[in-house]
Chain A
Amino acid sequence: MTVSSRSTESREPVPLSAGRSEAGLDGRAAEAARANPRGTATAERRAGGGGAAATLSELQEPARARWDALKRGDQPIIWVGMATCGLAAGAAEALKAAEAELEAHGIAAHTIPVGCVGMCSLEPMLDVEKPGGARICYGEVTPEKAREIVRSYLVEGDPRADLALGTVGDVEVAGIPRLSELPMIAPQKRVVTGTFGLINPTDIDHYLAHGGYQALQRALEMDPEAVLAEVERSGLRGRGGGGFPTGRKWRSCREAHGEPKYVICNGDEGDPGAFMDRSIMEGDPHAVIEGMVIGAYAIGAHQGYIYVRNEYPLAVERLRKALADARECGLLGENILGTGFSFDMQINRGGGAFVCGESTALMASLEGMVGEPRAKYIHTVEVGLHGKPTTLNNVETWANVPVIIERGADWFASIGTEGSKGTKVFSLVGKVRNTGLVEVPMGMTLREIVFEIGGGIPGDKRFKAVQTGGPSGGCIPEEHLDTPVDFDQLWEVGSMMGSGGLIVMDEDTCMVNLARYFTGFLRDESCGKCVPCREGLAQMQRILTRICDGEGREGDVELLLHLCDVLDDAALCALGNTASNPVRSTIRWFRADYDEHIRERHCPARECRGLFRYEILAETCNGCGACRRACPEDAISGERRQAHTLDQTKCVHCGACLEACRFDSVVKV
């Protein structure tokens, strides 16, 4: 049967064997593997002395057998979302409770940690799969709910449609929708993220069973030139924000003079609110590794690096495990799959600087120097790491490579728009109902993403803008919501797709404060080397702060735009060159907000403290006194059960009254 490794639409269970319980978190999974090694691909290698290089089928067979036994065995399976989002929401506690309940009923079950399905607002997510029955996904699973679910579904046979989100896989349950048909999931095209939630990212067998490393085998059977041509034909463009044609980058590197050549994975995801790369590294690290081996083969490199920001310890842990397993299976290192091609890579962690996501700064950091960019008039594909030809690509870019080799450039190019092929992973956050990780074909409109997949704005608030591209991008107002998302079309409305962060804002968001936030972020992260960025951002932040503090002056907006010009023209690297975008775009689409701050000392979104008033509505106030008691300045007075009043001269705009009122009687004006 065909094994499609990457798309949820055509997922079929692959025959596997020899189930055993793989408890909980990575460390525990690894321990369990060591304790019970029989039957794993890595174990077979170890048993065989790890001598002659394995063929892929020698690795796939035990892997598939294990998977088969898991899915067709007689033990139920508990699948738990154990990415950072799940863990932060309490997945470990939920799992513990589930395990306790299982033990109490004497039920032996497999527990498998999986990556992030993408419905982050509903974490912790826990799936229960009955042997021969349905796999049901439950969301917002507290320890209490976990016990209830185990009891209800596994013991009493009640799938609890009231708690269920949806079914996963082929077996359906009346009254419960298929997860893939939910409004948040259905419009998506989960190519790169397709395996998230379905495989244990710390188990190479799961990856192998789902067709993993087949692309690598295929690539190694091709000529490196042919592999490169396939990537060129696909139209893949860099997913880290630059959108540079990947095939062209690889070709330049391949043709450059100098040995040795290097490939680097940029895992220094730094945009606030972006977690696409983190999810990929945590949810399917092998996809990244496989992509890099294929790329190294096409380019002629034998050494690679994955540079991961230090603030992603789970991603580092999962990548480490994946690298170790891949090496053990002969998929990395000397003589890969017996083809004679050798390539290995190591993980380097960043030191906590956003600027190290810039390619030349990253390479300086890898060399042990301060992460500072340099001029790129001579490209890094010619003179890069240690002065040698280097190909640096983003995590998501690398993860797309196996897909392209396996399913072909034509298939890849059939998705997306004219100039932007394939899909894009986005982190959808902010004032939107369904926050999480989504993957859509290039060309889907912002409106579709925010209102269909995202479920619209919570609390019946009005949409104001969506920020794309983080600190390097701009905001897009309602009138341009029908802009298709791709590299080029967002540019025309003053933004850029960036690495995939989508921050939704509503009527309560102050756009001037937003500009100040991003400018402040960049000012803190600026390396300080060049004058325009170091001095310019400090100046811009000072102006924006004054405006938000009610000390804006006529001419401030013009001065901001002038400083934007200087940054655009004179800054050394992309951090400085794109820093003007949040300021420019907010001025372009929300000039009136700026003017109101400056001329009327009033914040239309009622966010900037001191630039709006709190008022008590006499009509609805019932005199409960909660606000009076909460006020630290004794600015509120009133008799019991009489409408209270707020003395504006004493008010310090702290908002305690609004928080205290349970009758919606304190409003911002």
Chain B
Amino acid sequence: MAIRLTIDGQKVEAQEEQTVLEVAREAGVWIPALCHHPAVSPYGACRLCLVEVEVRGRRRLVTSCCYPVQDGLAVFTQTEKVMGARRGVMELLLARAPDSPTLRELAEKLGVTESRLPKVTEAERDCILCGLCVNVCREVIGAAAISFVERGVEREVGPPFDEASDACLGCGACAAVCPMGTVDLRWHEGELEIVPFKNRVPVVRCRECGEPITGLPYAEQIRARLGEKLASAVELCPTCKRNAAALAQKKAGAAGRAYVHHAKTPYRDQAPCSSERPGRASEPGSDGPDRCSQGVRAK
């Protein structure tokens, strides 16, 4: 059953169980958010997605990521109250992680040039405690290898007892959802490290070209799920996989050509022989995985 509401006066239709943020995104209305990702349940921690909603004559500020749509709802995304609240939150975030490019870019969009506030909390590698890594690991991957520890300003994300976690699969989902570039994959000789969690897993390499593919525990889980017939999913790197597929098609007589492609893989710069040069896995502009929500690039 369709639900009818308005966003900044614009009429939109929505489905039941949708949130205001989802509907706004579909309608092309921009609402900032850092702790939101379509793959993960809404968490409501960053407070940037605040909007004003009016229902039955009553208006209030709510986080659009958690607010369920209802018939007759009026949503306002650009009121003074909303902008003031967003800027206030942005200032607090900038104080916490003043050097973060993600925050600087977002701040500019919100009209905040700098923070009046000093840095009073410690942020490990610009972590803003959005919870995406924790939530994706628990909810989507099912490993729960990392969690929040401590409370309040002492809060951090880490593995149990601050030691490398056995539960980590090395799938890299945490790095994929992190909006700040805090969580990252670091390739060592034969090992994949999830920074800053100290989790390390052995690496599975492409049986054709030797490129590292992913963490071994993760590959084994996929293999177990997909069965032997689809083992190539975790035995070949993306390039070799494409080549193998094209070759198979050609053999089967389908139109098309063998397509040998030496495209830059995201981790080529991180090949084992250059393990003495650890660094960020992805560069801006690369065709690496988009590791940030709403397309805001990590460094």
Residues of A within 8 A of B (CB): 353, 355, 370, 374-375, 377-378, 523-532, 534-536, 538-539, 542, 559, 562-563, 565-566, 569-572
Contact = CB atoms under 8 A, between A and B. Distances in A.
Given A353-B151, A375-B63, A559-B116, 11 more contacts: A378-B68, A528-B150, A530-B44, A531-B128, A532-B47, A538-B121, A539-B92, A539-B95, A542-B118, A569-B88, A571-B47
A374 B227 CA distance: 40
Contacts of A355: 151
Q: How large is the interface on B (under 10, 10 to 19, 20 to 34, 35 or more residues)?
A: 35 or more
B65 to A, nearest CB: 9
A569 B152 contact: no
A611 to B, nearest CB: 22
B271 interface: no
Contacts of B121: 534-535, 538
Given A542-B120, A569-B81, A528 B153 contact: yes
Sorted nearest first, the 3 A-B pairs with minimum C-beta distance are A566-B88, A528-B155, A535-B92
Contacts of B96: 535
Contact of B92 (A525, A527, A531): A531
Interface string B75-96: 0000001001100110011011
B218 to A, nearest CB: 25
B61 interface: yes
Interface of B: 43-47, 50, 61-63, 66-68, 81, 84-85, 88-89, 92-93, 95-96, 116-118, 120-121, 128-129, 131, 148, 150-155
B85 A566 contact: yes
A309 to B, nearest CB: 15
A374 B45 CA distance: 9
Residue with the greatest number of chain B CB neighbours at <10 A, chosen from A524, A529, A566: A529
Contacts of A569: 50, 61, 81, 84-85, 88
A538 B153 contact: yes
Contacts of B117: 539, 559
A532 B45 contact: no
B68 A535 contact: no
A570 B152 contact: no
7 contacts: A377-B62, A525-B151, A531-B47, A531-B92, A532-B47, A535-B95, A570-B61
A570 B89 contact: yes
Contacts of A559: 116-117
Nearest to B154: A528
Nearest to A370: B148
A529 B63 CA distance: 14
Given A566-B85, A569-B85, A532 B92 contact: yes
Contacts of A563: 88
Contacts, number: 102
B66 A523 contact: no
Nearest to B130: A531
A551 to B, nearest CB: 12
Contacts of A566: 85, 88-89, 92
Contacts of B47: 530-532, 570-572
Contact of A531 (B46, B81, B84, B120): B46
A523 to B, nearest CB: 6
Nearest to B87: A566
Contacts of A535: 92-93, 95-96, 120-121, 153
A526 B151 contact: yes
Given A534-B129, A570-B89, A524 B66 contact: no
Contacts of A525: 151-152
B88 A377 contact: no
A536 B84 contact: no
Contacts of B84: 565, 569
A534 B88 contact: no
Residue with the greatest number of chain B CB neighbours at <10 A, chosen from A530, A532, A542, A563: A530
A259 B128 CA distance: 38
A526 to B, nearest CB: 4
Contacts of A572: 44-45, 47, 63
Residue with the greatest number of chain B CB neighbours at <10 A, chosen from A355, A535, A570: A535
A534 B153 contact: yes
A528 B63 contact: no
B120 A528 contact: no
Contacts of B68: 377-378
Contacts of A523: 152-153
A382 to B, nearest CB: 11
A27 B286 CA distance: 71
Contacts of B151: 353, 355, 525-528
Contacts of B61: 569-570
A569 B85 CA distance: 6
Contacts of B62: 375, 377
B89 A532 contact: yes
A370 B138 CA distance: 14
A570 B120 contact: no
B182 to A, nearest CB: 15
B131 to A, nearest CB: 8
A602 B121 CA distance: 29
B83 to A, nearest CB: 11
Residue with the greatest number of chain A CB neighbours at <10 A, chosen from B43, B121, B128, B152: B152
